[in-house]
Amino acid sequence: MHLAYELSEATDLLLQVEVADVADQQVLMSDIDFSDLSHLARVPAEEGLGDRIWIRADGEFRCTYKSSIQVDRPVLDLSALNAVKPHLLPWHTVRYLMPSRYCQSDQFSSFTDAQFGHLDGGAKIDAMCAWIHSAFEYVPGSSNAQTTARDTFVQRQGICRDFAHVLITLARASGIPARFVSVYAPGVTPQDFHAVAEIYLEGTWHLVDATGMAPADTIARIGVGQDAADVAFLGVFGQARFIEQSVVVTKPESDFP
């Protein structure tokens, strides 16, 4: 991963691009390099999953990140998993039932009841993904940083971020906790940072890619949050001019069938 921005003055940046080293994905190698900085400090990210990095820089800011990850995550049959009744949910999942900036789940209850009310748990999530696949078109450049799930629902097109927001919104509207996950994944076209959802079923979180491009056992999580606002790869507290960005994710040849 490489990114570059031009800063007209000393500016604070909040970076989150490194893969989280957690039980189901082991970081075997990690190297991150920066152009000249006047400050760098690591802080825990949302839910303690991974780190954010506070940076202060001036002039041309560049960051290059390389890593090698071993993912040890089984692919489960989502349709066989049960939802947890809201009154039995653990406290840390409750915030992921609530509407958020990009996921206005309180406006979708009638739709989800009519479209998916006959289903439950993972079977309902599977049906939501199938509906998104049939109803939406993946169109790079069709949305922007202000696009919400409601906007995407109306426009019927978007990118991974938008697909994830819609799935999260529909799940929450059905009483199933769902959160936004920024990830790296091979097979994503075009190559870039990727976004998926995590759905809380049977007492744990399950990765679900509403675009269908990234199976759960190929995904490397960077961070989680209520929606994209919580896990931006770069937050700029000032003015910055974009120069370039590239993301390349590959799968070892030994992992291919």
- Residue 190: domain span: 78-230
What is the rounded distance in angstroms from the CA atom of residue 103 to the CA atom of residue 132? 15
**In this structure, are 201 and 241 located in the same domain?**
no
- Domain co-membership, 66 together with 95: no
Q: Low-confidence residues of the chain, pLDDT below 70?
A: 253-257
Same domain assignment for residues 53 and 99 = no
Looking at residue 254, its pLDDT comes to 55
pLDDT of residue 195: 98
**CATH code of the domain covering residue 165:** 3.10.620.30
Greatest distance between any 2 Cα atoms in the chain: 57
> Does residue 98 share a domain with residue 187?
yes
Give the C-alpha separation, 184 to 233, whole Å: 11
Domain match, 38 and 85 both: no
pLDDT at position 252 is 81
Reference 135, options 117, 162, 110, 113; nearest CA is 162
pTM for this entry? 0.95
Cα 223 to Cα 15: distance, rounded to the nearest angstrom:
11
pLDDT at 62: 97
- Report the Cα 159 to chain-centroid distance in Å: 12
Beta-bridge partners for 195: 182
- Count the Cβ atoms, other than its own, within 10 Å of residue 244: 9
Tell me: do 177 and 163 sit in the same domain: yes
Same domain, 60 and 136: no
The total number of structural domains in the chain stands at 2
Residue 150 belongs to what H/E stretch? helix 149-155
181 touches 166 (CB < 8 A): no
Q: What residue type is assigned to position 139 of the chain?
A: V
Same domain, 112 and 134: yes
